[in-house]
Amino acid sequence: MRLVRGLLLLTGLGFGLWGVWLMRDFTSEQLVSMGTFLAGGVLLHDAVIAPVTVLLGVVAARLLPGRTRSVAAIAFLVWATLTVAFVNVLSGQGGKPDNDTVLHRPYGLSWVVMTALIAAIAATVAYRRRRIAGPPRSR
């Protein structure tokens, strides 16, 4: 185990240094741009996406009845992660005006349909669970 960990550590450091070596002839403008994206991604996640998710969890825990929370959380997981995965086509950016073989689908509409479907499935599951489980324990 010690040997495996040691080898992994050394290989990892080697890979990382090789990556930095590949950047040796990047101009300062390119490095600044790359650095902005590297730091910006972490900042966007740690300071915006993660706290907002936690906050939504807190709000949902206050508003939603106990038995529906679990379903709501999973529905949010699927919806939110898919929205982030599709943010490139949903952004309206990219493509070229003279090339209609790129990005010419109705992504916004698909997203609305996806959102509605996830909400409908979650509502159905929550409703059926409530019936199977009977009235909530706390009264």
Partner 1 sequence: MRLPRVEDIEKRIPRPEDFTARSRGPATTARVGTALGIAFGICFLTGLWSHFQYSSPGWLPIGPNPAWLYRVTQGTHVATGIASVPLLLVKLWSVYPRFFLRPPKARRDQLLDVLERASIGVLVAAAIFQLTSGLLNIVQWYPWEFSFRRTHEAVAWVAIGALLVHIAVKLPVIREGLGASVEDETPVHSDGPSRRAVLRGVTVASGLALVLTVGQTVPFLRKVSVFGVRDGGGPQDLPVNRTARAAGATRAASDPAFVLQLKAGGRSMSLTRDELAKLPQRTHRLPIACVEGWSRNAVWTGVAVQDLIALVGAPSGSTVIVRSMQTRGAFRTSELPGDFVDDPRTLLALELNGEPLSLDHGYPCRIIAPNRPGVLQTKWVRELEVRT
Counting contacts by CB under 8 A, is residue 86 touching partner 1? yes
Task: State which of positions 117-136 bind partner 1 (CB under 8 A).
Answer: none
Site mask for partner 1 (CB under 8 A), range 35-74, x = bound:
--xxx-xx-xxx--xx--xx--x---x----xx-xxx-xx
What's the CA gap between 56 and 137, in Å, rounded? 25
| One of 52, 59, 63, 77 touching partner 1 (CB under 8 A) | 77
| Separation between Cα atoms, residue 55 and residue 58, nearest integer Å | 5
User: For the chain, give me the number of helices (H) and strands (E)?
Assistant: 6, 0
The residues that bridge with 96 in the sheet, in sequence order, are: 99
Give yes or no for residue 138 binding partner 1 (CB under 8 A): no
Nearer to partner 1, 44 or 127 (CB): 44
87 binds partner 1 (CB under 8 A): yes
Q: Indicate if the alpha-carbon torsion angle 93, 96, 99, 102 is positive or negative.
A: negative
Q: How far is the CB of 77 from partner 1 (least distance, A)?
A: 4
Which one of 59, 95, 127, 128 is in contact with partner 1 (CB under 8 A)?
Answer: 95
Assess contact for 78 and 122: CB atoms under 8 A. Answer: no
Quote the least distance from Cβ 131 to partner 1, whole Å.
Answer: 18
Instruction: Check if the beta carbon of residue 82 is closer than 8 Å to that of residue 114.
Output: yes
